[in-house]
Chain A
Amino acid sequence: MKKVLAVCGLGQGTSLILKMNIEQVLNEQGVQAEVEHVDVSAASSMTADLIVTSRELAQNLQNQETRVVTVQNFFDVEEIRSALQEHL
């Protein structure tokens, strides 16, 4: 199963919103994946298939081998759908 990390500064509120909306998109598309919400420092030491975060935090994850995609609007399911499309 693929693993996706939803990342924010604290790994609490905002990454959880992102995780919920990522799961909604994956469910619609019938993609099986485990989505975990974590803070940016935890994310940099984890392995996953994909990291989803904001543009600002993505700069802190550049040394990572995992691919990082950025989302401007965490509430916009359409944007999340097209961000994920190329990678999952």
Chain B
Amino acid sequence: MAFLDASLIRLKETISEPQAAIRSAGRLLRESNYVEARYVEAMVAAYEQHGPYFVISPGIAVPHARPEDGVIRPAVSMIQITKGIRFGSKANDPVYLIFALAADSNQHHLELLQKLSRLLGKEENIIRLKKATTLGEIQNLLKGDSI
């Protein structure tokens, strides 16, 4: 189980299109072998089929697919987008932070979501994640917040 490990974070992405952004966050999971390549495409397909329901907080998208779509081990990756992207969410566009979830169906999966929920339940953390310019800033935040 991996929660925003160094290899799972990318800052200052200059993408402007939702599908490309989902693929970019998914690629981090793929490259570290947390998911199969087909999982990344399943996340994109979920967006195309069901719309931006996973844009669940102002400026934040949490794309994911089903465990059976190719999760190898549970993990969460993050990309920070310099210029917000419109996913079509009336309530929560534009999106600046994308957290791709690789969720299996066991207990670790719940722990990951609890960590994410604790992290993003605090407005000040979201501001720091949006403004961070180095990996070190994010790691300090994750260490300091008893997440």
Taking Cβ atoms with an 8 Å cutoff, the residues of A that contact B are: 8-10, 12-14, 16-18, 20-21, 40, 54-57, 72-77
Contact = CB atoms under 8 A, between A and B. Distances in A.
In this complex, the interface size class of chain B, counting residues with CB under 8 Å from chain A, is 20 to 34
B65 A10 contact: yes
B50 A16 contact: no
A17 B116 contact: yes
Interface in B28-53: 46, 49-53
A54 B56 contact: yes
A75 B64 contact: no
A8 B54 contact: yes
B113 A17 contact: yes
Contacts of B120: 75
Interface of B: 46, 49-54, 56-58, 60, 62, 64-67, 89-92, 101, 103, 109-110, 113-114, 116-117, 120-121
B54 A13 contact: yes
A8 B116 CA distance: 17
A12 B67 contact: yes
A37 to B, nearest CB: 11
Contact of A72 (B64, B66, B91, B109): B91
Given A16-B109, A17-B56, 6 more contacts: A12-B64, A12-B65, A14-B54, A14-B56, A54-B56, A75-B60
Contacts of A9: 46, 49-51, 53-54
Nearest to B61: A14
B71 to A, nearest CB: 10
A56 B58 contact: no
Contact of A8 (B53, B90, B121): B53
A55 B90 contact: yes
